[in-house]
Amino acid sequence: MEQTATEWTEWLVHRIFFWETDDAKKGRIVRTIHHAVMFGLSTMILVSHTVYPAFWLQTLVLGFCFLIWGQHVLTNGCVLSKVEQKLIGDETSFVDPFLDLFHVEANEASKRGIVILGSTLVVSLLSLEWVSRVFHKLIPFVQSRFLASLSTLHIPSQLSSPSE
């Protein structure tokens, strides 16, 4: 699946950037778009949790992160990074600046593992938060329905003690 996804993505890149003949330039364009999307997604995660914590926005961001995570897991890393590397002819990855920051040496398999681990961590944390928000919204609804059903059955919601 990894090879098929990479080949189709590369075919799509060649079709979208048909005016550019140099593969290295196409690769740099894809790398720029890739980095812009990832920094934009990171910004949207921050915005959806600080400035505008709307449930619909967090759901949208989680869905997008889930799609990216699925792509990482199913294709053993990021397809866009593989296409960039193939077109440019280098081995730099999205995680290289972070590895350089902490002076960590890693091979390609380790970098793919770090990408998968990082996206799994982000999706797991966002999913846990989303589930907690769903239950936070669901519990009052269920309680109100339960209390309404008690009133239609003429069952008191609190039973009195026998001494009263």
Distance CA 4, CA 36 (A): 25
Give 83-94 pLDDT, tens digit per residue. Answer: 888 888 888 888
pTM of the prediction? 0.76
Distance CA 147, CA 164 (A): 23
Give 8-43 pLDDT, tens digit per residue. Answer: 988 988 899 889 888 899 999 999 999 999 999 999
pLDDT in tens, the chain (164 residues): 888 888 898 898 889 988 988 889 999 999 999 999 999 999 999 999 999 999 999 999 999 999 999 999 999 888 888 888 888 888 888 888 888 998 888 888 888 888 899 999 999 999 999 999 888 887 777 777 776 776 666 655 565 556 55
Per the CB < 8 A criterion, the answer to whether 22 and 81 are in contact is no
Tokens 């593992």 -> residue: 113
